[in-house]
A = this chain, B = another copy of it.
Amino acid sequence: MDSLLEGLRLVDAHCHGVVAGPLTADAFGLLATEASEPAPPGVSHLDGPLGLAIRRWCAPVLDLPAHAPAADYLARRTQLGADAARRLLHAARLAALFVDTGIRAPGDDWLDGDELGAAAGARVAEVVRLEAVAEQVAASGVAAADFAPAFADALAAATRTAVAVKSVLAYRRGFDIDPSRPARQAVTDAAGGWLRRGAPRLTDPVLLRHLLWCGVDTGLPIQLHTGFGDRDLTLPRADPSLMRGWYERVEPSGVPVVLLHCYPYHRQAGWLAQVYPNVYVDVGLTLGHVGAQAGPVLGEFFELAPFTKVLYSSDAYGLPELFLVGAAQFRWALGHLLSTWLAAGAVADADAERLAHAVAADNARHVYRTAIAASAA
């Protein structure tokens, strides 16, 4: 099982750009946590599950022993320069990566899009963040009555070659909302209020719903942030089971809804994937962050979700390390899980192999309707 997984190229269906150049210890630490402040003196953000996983999987790729001390690792990383990012991305052995281009670290040496793909040796496609497009439209100076058509045009232009759209409603408002499509006049009124306030970070529930439904109109799969993440999030309102009414309303369109991250509501997400034909779950962010616990956590994703409904991503952001950590943790955890099932007689070899291929790349190819040569090592 391990050698099968080593040989599979993964589709990383949700990720972000990275800082290409060297980073200070503080900057590196901040990109390896969901916290938003540097660690206090004497403490390191690397002193936790994700930090251990970085030292475990990435140090050998930079010619250091696994678990080399963080200071040695950072020094070696600086010494290698841009080659470090290339080595780490390449070691993830990806067939494709789908990049959410809606956020980036300000003012850094940012590696995104085609350059990221070239460094990884993988095909690249774009994921368009709905709220970012809306904020760009507002910043362009549109009138309230023109907001809806201007947003529709901007979204059409932005998604011309995209594979998915993405919503961060969980951060902006939470999932305890009216799931119906808002009326046109309500959208114009809400846009008026927002624009009059100078169009700050978009949190208006009517507009956020409008964005979601415009996302459905594109016909592309919709990636939904659910569960944990940065601290500006009321966790219980990010439970994806609160969005039931919306999945039902989206169902007739046939548009897939991919629940990203999910933790600690990944069991709820698995149930949703079982009962709603258009709902999928993605292990991204979670498997990296939980470090040595990736095996048990991945097992929980597989408690109710059909095997055709689970997707891989890294949700890597900022650090090239996170592409490799995501991929290595996934291969390790899935290998461990399937070996346990095989040893217990709970699955046959052929089914285990099919499941591995499905989650590593085949399900993504189906959901995102892209022809990626995913299984060639």
Residues of A that sit less than 8 Å from B by CB: 33-37, 39-40, 43, 45, 47-49, 52-53, 55-56, 66-67, 228, 230-231, 234-236, 239, 241-242, 244, 248, 263-264, 267-268, 271, 274-277, 289-293, 296-297, 299-300, 302-308, 332, 336, 340-341, 344-348, 351
Complex contact A297–B293 (CB within 8 A): no
When C-beta atoms are compared, the residue in chain B nearest to A347 turns out to be B52
When C-beta atoms are compared, the residue in chain B nearest to A338 turns out to be B292
> Which residue of B66, B276, B291, B346 contacts A52 across the interface (Cβ within 8 Å)?
B346
Per CB-CB distance, the 3 closest pairs between chain A and chain B, nearest first, are A67-B348, A231-B275, A292-B346
Task: Name the distance in Å between A256's Cβ and chain B's nearest Cβ.
Answer: 11
Q: Which residues of B contact A267 (CB under 8 A)?
A: 263-264
Task: Name the distance in Å between A242's Cβ and chain B's nearest Cβ.
Answer: 7
Task: Name the distance in Å between A25's Cβ and chain B's nearest Cβ.
Answer: 16
> Which residue of B277, B291, B340 contacts A346 across the interface (Cβ within 8 Å)?
B291
Q: Which residues of B contact A52 (CB under 8 A)?
A: 346-347, 351
Q: Which residues of B contact A303 (CB under 8 A)?
A: 49, 263, 289-291, 293, 297
Complex contact B275–A289 (CB within 8 A): no
The docked-state distance in angstroms from the alpha carbon of A56 to that of B297 is 24
Given A230-B275, A293-B300, A304-B228, does the pair A345, B66 have CB atoms closer than 8 Å?
yes
